[in-house]
Structure 1
Amino acid sequence: MFSLTVRDHVMVAHSFRGEVFGPAQQLHGATFIVDATFQRAELDDDNIVVDIGLASEQLKAVLGALNYRNLDDVEEFAGINTSTEFLAKVIADRIAGAIAAGKLGEGAHGLNELTITLHESHVAWASYRRSL
């Protein structure tokens, strides 16, 4: 399996409901380093996994919709704990939609899998992996 990873970051504010979150129940900020890893069994006709420039552009576009936002105020997230794991899935699903729409080029239609990893810090991160 071949893979290619592009990286960006996103800054958000949010709060959580539930005792398990302790002090994070209060409004707080988070800066995530975000890795998008694209995988395929065989390289495309150009001997690449995916166009690195287009992959970077789409990751930036998806993150741009979340960047500098208080996620508590985003209607589609109303009543949802926007955990690191949850956000990884949201980002993965949005990038998968961009792939399906052809925004990563025709060669991207041969991708098998996408993994989004959000690094909360140098000691903690979460990922979501999905088939394409």
Structure 2
Amino acid sequence: MYSVAVTREFIASHFLIGGDWGSENFPHSHHYVAEIRIDGDQLDQHGYLVDIVDIEAALDKTVAYFRDSVLNEKPEFEGLNPSIEHFSRIINEHISSKIRPLGNASLTVKLWENATCWAAYQKEFKQS
């Protein structure tokens, strides 16, 4: 199994809903680190799982969309608590719509909201 990964840092704000989380219920920002990792069993004719330039472009576009925003105001979060679990899935959906590895592969988004806390979401691509 091959793996390739790219990371980006960005700041975005949110506030938690649906429970009593004290200060987390009020708008605050996080310095996020998003790691996009693709694992797969097949390389293309150039020896790439996915060209890193393509991964970087997809991640840069996604990060630009969320950077300096209030996540609660984005349509993807409508009716959702903007947890890092939901956020990692949403980023995964943005990236996986732009990247298509060959063979059996998966795309994992690991999203850090600080130096010690992260959540991840993995999507499987099946060979067609």
Fold similarity call, TM over 0.5: yes
2: CA distance, partners of 1:36 / 1:55 = 8
Partner of 1:44: 44
Counterpart position of 2:107: 114
In the alignment, residue 86 of structure 2 is paired with which amino acid?
F
Structure 2 residue identity aligned to 1:118: L
Number of the residue aligned with 1:104: none
Q: Contact 1:34 / 1:116 at 8 angstroms: preserved in 2?
A: yes
Give the CA deviation at 1:30. Answer: 1.1
Task: Identify unmatched segments of 5+ residues in structure 1.
Answer: 101-107
Overall identity of the aligned pairs, in %: 25
The two structures, once aligned, show a CA RMSD in angstroms of 1.5
Q: Which residue number corresponds to residue 72 of structure 1? A: 72
What letter matches 1:44 in structure 2? D
Question: Which one of 92, 102, 127 corresponds to residue 120 of structure 2?
Answer: 127
1:44 CA displacement: 2.0
Q: Which residue of 2 aligns with 1:86?
A: 86
**SS of corresponding position for 1:62:** helix
**Residue 49 of structure 1 contacts residue 111 of structure 1 at CA under 8 Å; is this kept in 2?**
no
Most deviating of 110-119 and 2-11: 110-119
One-letter amino acid of the counterpart of residue 7, structure 1: T
Structure 2: distance between partners of 1:75 and 1:116: 20
* Distance (Å, rounded) in 2 between the aligned partners of 1:76 and 1:55: 21
TM-score (norm: length of structure 1): 0.86
2:34 is equivalent to residue 29 of structure 1: no
What's the secondary structure of 1:127's corresponding residue?
A: strand
Q: Secondary structure at the match of 1:69?
A: coil
Structure 2: distance between partners of 1:26 and 1:99: 35
Normalised by the length of structure 2, the TM-score is 0.88
CA distance in 2, matches of 1:37, 1:84: 17
The answer to whether the Cα contact below 8 Å between 1:99 and 1:109 also exists between their aligned partners in 2 is: no
